[in-house]
């Protein structure tokens, strides 16, 4: 995984780490993101000024701190979106009905950006493999196409905002390296995020059980086929009766089917 660019957490600069991990290079600094945030602040100020610089709303706006950055190094989704526009990329909410988003098979997408309580991180496809590039991790975490579905469902259940990165990502060295030398040994993912204590314990237990050494008792090929079939069945159930299943029950069904297999 040495070829994969992965910035580790420094202060509260997770937005910077998120963007650079997505683009696979040190393309943005905190200073550059601050400049973008200031431009957004000025645009918002000018828009408010149109209502009259003597108005109560305008005076209150001037007294409020910036909504696009703070002294800790946090940057808003507007700043991240503006930074990606430079590369011809767009952020679209995963829950959107945008036809460019493949909800049935998220592995067909290129990357996701996730946010919860001011923390940003990237999940990206490099060559033909998916990686969790969270700056809180010691190193990139390999995720199979099958577990990508469960991981996104887990994040959504925990309250994360998930955005799809739409557009062509820039070419990177890791793409070429992994195309010729894909990573074969899949480290067992740990699906714990910043709010694991608030998650449904049954869901946590099911996820942990599905990732125990029991999966070592079957061949990787058979296991992958079984999980794909279980997830396909769960998606068919979701499409046939979406009004009867909430996100949590859908996740339970997917996990139960994978365990039954």
pLDDT of residue 237: 47
Per residue in 121-147, pLDDT (tens digit) is 999 999 999 999 999 999 999 999 989
pLDDT of residue 249: 57
Least confident of 112-116, 205-209, 255-259: 205-209
- Rounded Cα gap, residues 102 and 100, in angstroms: 6
Catalytic residue check, 172: no
Catalytic residue check, 6: no
Instruction: Tell me which of 115, 132, 134, 157 is the catalytic residue.
Output: 134
Return the exposure string of 189-228: e unless at least 16 CB atoms fall within 10 Å of the residue's CB, then b: bebebbeeeebeeebeebbeebeeeeeeeeeeeebeebbb
Other Cβ atoms closer than 10 A to 168: 9
Instruction: Tell me which of 17, 18, 115, 119 is the catalytic residue.
Output: 119
- As a whole number, mean pLDDT of residues 166-173 equals 93
Q: How many CA atoms lie within 13 A of 118 on its CB side?
A: 11
In terms of pTM, does the model score above 0.75? Answer: no
């Amino acid at each position: 995984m040495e070829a994969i660019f992965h910035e580790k957490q420094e202060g509260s600069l997770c937005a910077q780490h998120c963007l650079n991990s997505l683009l696979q290079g040190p393309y943005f600094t905190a200073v550059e993101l601050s400049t973008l945030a200031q431009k957004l602040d000025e645009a918002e100020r000018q828009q408010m000024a149109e209502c009259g610089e003597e108005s109560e709303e305008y005076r209150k706006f001037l007294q409020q701190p910036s909504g696009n950055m703070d002294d800790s190094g946090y940057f808003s989704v507007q700043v991240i979106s503006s930074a990606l526009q430079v590369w011809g990329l767009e952020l679209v909410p995963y829950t959107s009905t945008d036809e460019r988003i493949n909800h049935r098979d998220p592995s067909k997408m290129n990357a996701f950006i996730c946010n919860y309580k001011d923390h940003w991180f990237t999940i990206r496809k490099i060559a033909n493999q998916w990686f969790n590039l969270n700056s809180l991790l010691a190193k990139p975490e390999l995720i199979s196409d099958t577990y990508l579905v469960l991981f996104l469902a887990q994040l959504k259940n925990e309250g994360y905002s998930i955005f799809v990165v739409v557009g062509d990502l820039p070419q990177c060295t890791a793409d070429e390296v992994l195309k010729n030398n894909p990573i074969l040994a899949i480290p067992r993912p740990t699906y714990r995020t910043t709010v694991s204590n608030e998650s449904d314990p049954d869901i946590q237990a099911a996820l942990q059980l599905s990732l125990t050494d029991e999966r070592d008792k079957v061949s990787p090929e058979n296991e992958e086929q079984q999980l794909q079939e279980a997830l396909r069945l769960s998606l068919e159930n979701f499409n046939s009766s979406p009004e009867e299943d909430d996100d949590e029950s859908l996740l339970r069904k997917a996990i139960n089917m994978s365990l039954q297999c």
